[in-house]
Chains A and B, each alone.
Chain A
Amino acid sequence: MEEAWLVPLGKGDCEKAWDLFLSSHRGLILATVRRYLQDYDDVMDVFARVCERLRDDRLARLRRYTDKPQESHTARFSTWLVAVLRNLILDWFRQRDGRKQLSNAARALPPRQRHIYESVFLDGRSHVEAYELLTSRGEHTLTFGQFLKELTATYRIVSAGRRGFLAVELAGPVAIEPEALAEQDSTAPEYFDDSPALLEAFHTLPPDEQLAVQFFVIEELPAAEVARLVGWPNAKAVYNRVTRALVALRGQLEAQGIHRQDL
């Protein structure tokens, strides 16, 4: 790690370390904040808060990384810093200004979508938690597929403004077409929710294929990015192996009497 600010930090001069850190990383912090927000006032507001958190307690957050023995680091400092910034930005929105920032969109939502918005976007609950919360509050007939459809609609309304990346962050993966859902709702609704046979088949795939399917199909990451993350050579490998994995899944299901027309 080659950072000038480590020298004063090592000598206990946190002020000097902070000045040096900020002078070399201001652009990275701002670029990360701007990935989430475009409004100038929002950007500067979040930038100030993020800096405050990084500077807290004599740069405790930064020292969490630098105090570790160099040989124990498994990530580049810049990647680690972006991961920290991501968490700080999300915390800031969720804990303080999140409700205020997004409440205009939320106010226009129907009750069910508003509940989803509050659970998922603001409280950071998983999709399954939010779904279970809804069903526990009386929405007994709601399937998970229908919940995802409502989540998608909520996401589209909230992300219609200029905070698209933030909305993707807060909503989680919502890659689902309401039209496709509507079509499947009428033909095979039981498959929207957990089917043990299907899930069992999924878990027979090698872990890297499971993850590639999840990244590519659910998270909608570009194939080249999926390849890099799972350690495959290129995007073509992702197309081929994900296709083969899905075919294998279908084959296992057919062997259990669940036929192609059902899926």
Chain B
Amino acid sequence: MTEEEHLDDDVQPMAQWVRTQAALRQDAASGCLDEEALAAFVSGAGAGRAEALAHLTACARCRHAVAMLSRLVTDERIVSEVRLARGAAWPRRVRWTVGVAAAAAIAVLLLRPSRTDDLVLPGSELREPPITVVGGPALIAPRGRVAAVTILTWSHVPRAARYRLRLYDSVGTAVWENETTDTTVTVASAIPLASGATYFWRVEAKTGRNRWVASELAQFTLAHSGP
């Protein structure tokens, strides 16, 4: 069922009409959203939202830009890279433009013995969330040369709601995908693993809404069986 099929049948002709109206595909003559305004709308930021919403109802170009940007920032690989980029960033609470006195005052706030999430700097509700580096699962077995594979095992990741495993053949084609809440999974008998062949596998842990942390890619080779 496509998304739109959730609509009642008797409103489908109206939907079709909406889709074919030239006036609903017009671009606005002015007031188009710049990159930050587009990003803000997609981020759900409150500032200027009503104006942006009004513009979007009248501008097909900006509406398409929002739709495509929304598709991009919810793409699994991009979400994963955003998370990694945040992890690689150097944790700072202030920009270099803030004076020494202000920095010192904030440092006092940061160092006081209270919950760190008490600190709400002006505008910080619109900033990146605090960095919380959660490592991906460690792949335990199988690795290297193995006689047979029946179970795949990895380490637990704190706050992981579930795990997604992908198994690839030697040319990188995914041959199996499985999701589980456990840290082991039994290889389905329907997955034919060829003896002598090399496989790669990776596990991603879901640690929040649209947040996944990935393991490294591990390799194993099934030993030749038979004489």
Contacts and interface: CB of A to CB of B under 8 A. Distances in A.
Interface stretch (A39-47, A50-58, A79-87): A79-87
Contact of B67 (A83, A191, A213, A219): A219
Interface in B1-45: 3-4, 6-8, 11, 13-27, 35-45
B24 to A, nearest CB: 7
A211 B57 CA distance: 5
A263 B70 contact: no
A129 B64 CA distance: 16
Given A10-B95, A79-B73, A246-B11, A74 B37 contact: yes
Interface string A1-42: 111101100110000000000011101101110110000000
B67 A148 contact: no
B7 A243 contact: yes
Contact of B24 (A11, A73, A202, A225): A202
Nearest 6 CB-CB pairs, A to B?
Answer: A4-B90, A75-B39, A10-B96, A71-B123, A74-B40, A24-B88
B39 A127 contact: no
Contact of B63 (A129, A215, A242): A215
Interface stretch (A99-107, A108-116, A155-163, A176-184): A176-184
Interface string B144-156: 0000000000000
A230 B44 CA distance: 8
B36 A65 contact: yes
Q: How large is the interface on A (under 10, 10 to 19, 20 to 34, 35 or more residues)?
A: 35 or more
Contact of A128 (B22, B40, B88, B123): B22
A244 B19 CA distance: 17
Interface string A191-219: 11111001100100001101101111111
Interface stretch (B79-87, B109-117, B216-224): B79-87
A191 B19 CA distance: 11
B29 to A, nearest CB: 11
Contact of B89 (A2, A76, A208): A2
Contacts of A94: none
Contacts of B43: 74-76, 79
Contacts of A4: 88-90, 92
Contact of A86 (B54, B57, B68): B68
A247 interface: yes
A191 B80 CA distance: 45
Contact of B57 (A2, A195, A210): A210
Given A73-B123, A82-B72, A229-B42, A23 B88 contact: yes
B165 interface: no
B93 A184 contact: no
B96 A75 contact: no
Interface of A: 1-4, 6-7, 10-11, 23-25, 27-28, 30-32, 34-35, 65-66, 70-80, 82-84, 86-87, 126-129, 131, 144-145, 148, 165, 168-169, 172-173, 175-176, 180-181, 184, 191-195, 198-199, 202, 207-208, 210-211, 213-223, 225, 228-231, 239, 242-243, 246-247, 249-250, 263
Contacts of A71: 122-123
B161 interface: no
A214 B6 CA distance: 16
13 contacts: A7-B90, A7-B96, A30-B81, A78-B82, A86-B65, A198-B17, A198-B21, A211-B53, A225-B74, A229-B41, A239-B7, A243-B8, A247-B11
B62 to A, nearest CB: 11
B165 to A, nearest CB: 21
B131 interface: yes
B128 interface: yes
A222 B74 CA distance: 11
